[in-house]
Amino acid sequence: MYSEKVMDHFRNPRNVGEIEDADGIGEVGNARCGDIMKMYLKIEDGVIVDVKFKTFGCGSAIASSSMATELIKGKTIEEAMEVTNKAVAEALDGLPPIKMHCSLLAEQAIKAALYDYAKKNNVKIKGLENFNPVEDIHDHEHA
Amino acid sequence: MDKYIYMDNAATTPVKKEVLDEMLPYFNVNYGNPSSIYTLGSKSKNAISISREKVAKAINADPREIFFTAGGSEADNWAIKGVAYANKDKGNHIITSKIEHHAVLHTCEYLEKEGFRVTYLDVDQYGIVDLEQLKKSITDDTILISIMFANNEIGTIQPIKEIGKIAKEKGIYFHTDAVQAIGHIKIDVNELNIDLLSMSAHKFYGPKGIGALYVRKGVKIDPLITGGGQERNRRAGTENVPGIVGMGKAIELAYENLEGKNAKLIKLRDRMINKILEKIDYVRLNGHPTNRLPGNVNVCFEFIEGESILLSLDMEGIAASSGSACTSGSLEPSHVLLAIGLSHEIAHGSVRLTLGDFNTEEEVDYVVEKLAEIVSRLRTMSPLYEKVKEGK
């Protein structure tokens, strides 16, 4: 059902945990739908120097979160903004069609954490001007 | 543990060796078509007769009341559609429950589109149908009551005798989907006033692709599959002879020393339930504590999701199942867990472990130990558990 990469990131998720003095925290999804992702960012001089996540969800939700943290760690805010759900899914060697929303949730988690950072530090991030963390990815996807 | 631990016996069971041995000659030695008049055909025909007698005996029916099908889903479809269409001059109302298998629920939904009216009875917190609601739902138009014998997810056994009595008093046909119960619980169709009963061989160590529908003599039912005159003109299609032979042998074996086997299974089941409740916190048992299938364990672990538990169990060589949305292929968790009143959040964390004849106490202990580790690992990753620990 899942690729080796997904199973690897599920088995040994990278960057699990919290950052106590995080500069940005984003939480997306909801328990009713069975997945919640929470992402913590440490940002110095516009660079994501550390990132951690916590996820409630299925195997692909955990693997997508893990992969998303890998893709943005050490990257600039601008580079992180370019990480799409497609990029997360591709980096995992693909996700089953019904699980694609997990990668979208991961993209949203990154953006929600960056949005939180921008708000707290009163900075503007290109692409987040009208950001509105999607409450329910499922409705969004399947409506 | 080196070997694979299979705890999904409600999904399917392995074919027992004695069953397979009886089936094998019917693939390539006694391969004749039962409808052919020559000796090779007669051998197949006789084998079917013997199997039919075994199946009938298991539920105290007459062999002429047993009709072989391609499995439980066909039997459910046939019972419901066949009775509905054959009796539509009498009425168009069917009563079933909210926790039926999809083979029943989706068939009822199909009939609703065809102009039938269906009442879906509520169940209590343990998954037992509301008998008062059943009585109140009956109208002059009610032609069929279809209530499962035991639930496939949470294992709850329904008050079948009471339902049979109510149906008989009102002169309404009573169908029960007994796919999970047959071979595991003693069933007497006369004592329980059952008019139609669905069964499937692969749930009791028989082969897949074969089942049967019991139809009480005199019940008006249309065929579902038309064609040749097999099964006394009720179910067309060349008989699955090896499957039928296997089903006969499997049902015979299932009812040999049933009490002894069940005593062992219930002991294993309760050991597993008690250990899980004792070793893991934020967990609840789903289904009735005692009035449940001998091998069924169904629990919800809070703050984590079922599919990730199953994947983790699989990595440890353990097979189980879940009612979470992520394993059902839909976005909704199990309709059964929602019907017993669980919230979506809790239902997503469900795990079903179903024990069978080949499971041991050692396996039960090992699986609980691994479960505790897995639950704890997944909870350290869960943002929901974090909130609970912080008292939010």
Radius of gyration for chain A, computed over Cα atoms and rounded to the nearest angstrom: 14
- Chain A residues within 8 angstroms (CB to CB) of chain B: 2, 7, 10-11, 13, 16, 18, 27, 31-38, 54-59, 61-62, 98-99, 138, 142
Domains of chain A: 4-119 (3.90.1010.10)
Taking CA–CA distances from B331, the nearest residue in chain A reads: A33
Would you place residue A141 in the very low, low, confident or very high pLDDT band (cuts 50, 70, 90)? very low
Chain B positions touching A40 (Cβ under 8 A) are none
CA B194 to chain A, closest CA, distance in angstroms equals 39
Of B324, B329, B381, which has the smallest distance from its Cβ to A34's Cβ?
A: B324
Q: What is the pLDDT of residues A77-127, one digit of tens each?
A: 999 999 999 999 999 999 999 899 999 999 999 999 999 999 999 999 988
Distance from CA of B102 to the nearest CA of A (A): 20
Q: How close B306 comes to chain A (CA, Å)?
A: 7
Three-class HEC string of chain B: CCCCEECECCCCCCCCHHHHHHHCHHHHCCCCCCCCCCHHHHHHHHHHHHHHHHHHHHCCCCHHHEEEECCHHHHHHHHHHHHHHHCCCCCCEEEEECCCCHHHHHHHHHHHHCCCEEEEECECCCCCECHHHHHHHCCCCEEEEECCCECCCCCEECCHHHHHHHHHHHCCEEEEECCCCECCECCCCCCCCCCEEEEEHHHHCCCCCCEEEEECCCCCCCCCCCCCCHHHHCCCCCCCHHHHHHHHHHHHHHCCCHHHHHHHHHHHHHHHHHHHHHHCCCEEECCCCCCECCCEEEEEECCCCHHHHHHHHHHCCEECECCCHHHHCCCCCCHHHHHCCCCHHHHCCEEEEECCCCCCHHHHHHHHHHHHHHHHHHHHCCHHHHHHHCCC
The whole-number pLDDT of residue B115 equals 97
Q: Residue A33 has what pLDDT?
A: 82
Q: Which residue does chain A place closest to B325, by CA atoms? A: A34
Task: Indicate the pLDDT class of residue A134, thresholds 50, 70 and 90.
Answer: low
B381:A55 CB<8 A: yes
Task: Report the mean per-residue pLDDT for chain B.
Answer: 96
Mean pLDDT of B25-47: 97
- Please name the member of A11, A31, A54 whose beta carbon is closest to the beta carbon of B381: A54
* pLDDT value of residue B66: 98
Helix (H, G, I), strand (E, B) or coil at A37: strand
> Is the pLDDT higher at B14 or at B2?
B14
* pLDDT score of B329: 60
Q: What pLDDT digit, counting tens, does each position of B73-98 carry?
A: 999 999 999 999 999 999 999 999 99
> Residue B172 — very low, low, confident or very high, per pLDDT cuts 50/70/90?
very high
Best mutation target among A56, A64, A104, A138 (most B Cβ atoms within 10 Å) is A56
Among B55, B57, B61, CA closest to B249 = B55
Question: What was the pLDDT predicted at A138?
Answer: 52
| Whether the model pTM is above 0.90 | yes
pLDDT tens digits for range A28-56: 998 888 899 999 999 999 999 999 999 99
Pick the range with the lowest mean pLDDT from A11-20, B89-98, B162-171, B328-337: B328-337
Residue B119 pLDDT > 50? yes
Residue B332 token pair: 């909704």
Q: Which residue among B326, B380, B383 places its CB closest to the CB of A36?
A: B383
Q: Is A33 a catalytic residue?
A: yes
| Residue B388 confidence class, pLDDT cut points 50, 70, 90 | confident
Query: Smallest Cα–Cα separation from B108: which of B146, B67, B156?
Result: B146
| Chain B residue whose CA is closest to A100 | B326
Are B307 and A35 inside 8 Å of each other by CB? Answer: no
Apex B278 CA angle, B277 and B283, nearest 5 = 30
- pLDDT band for position A142 (cuts 50, 70, 90): very low
A-chain CB neighbours of B306 within 8 Å are: 58
Q: Which of the residue ranges A72-76, B155-159, B332-336 would you say has the lowest mean pLDDT? A: B332-336
Tens of pLDDT, residues B230-258:
999 999 999 999 999 999 999 999 999 99
What tens digit of pLDDT does each residue of B320-362 get?
999 876 665 666 889 999 999 999 999 999 999 999 999 999 9
Measure in Å the smallest separation between the Cα of A13 and chain B Cα atoms: 9
pLDDT per residue over B183-197, tens digit each? 999 999 999 999 999
Closest CA to B361 of B255, B274, B291: B274
Kindly name the residue from B138, B285, B326, B388 that is annotated as catalytic.
B326
Q: Decide if A57 and B308 are in contact by the 8 Å CB cutoff.
A: yes
Residue of B nearest to A138 (CA): B331
The answer to whether B105 and B242 are in contact (CB under 8 A) is no
Looking at per-residue confidence, does A98 or A71 come out higher?
Answer: A71
Q: Using 50, 70 and 90 to split pLDDT, how confident is the model at A140?
A: very low
B304 to A55: CB separation less than 8 angstroms, yes or no = no
- Identify whether the C-beta of residue B47 lies closer than 8 Å to the C-beta of residue B30: yes
Nearest chain A CA: its distance from B370 CA (Å):
15
- The size of the A-B interface in CB pairs under 8 A is 69
Q: What are phi and psi of A25, to 5 degrees?
A: -130, 130
Beta strand ranges found along chain A (DSSP E) = 24-30, 35-44, 47-56
Angle at B96 between CA B95 and CA B97, to 5 degrees: 135
CB contact under 8 A, B325 and A32: no
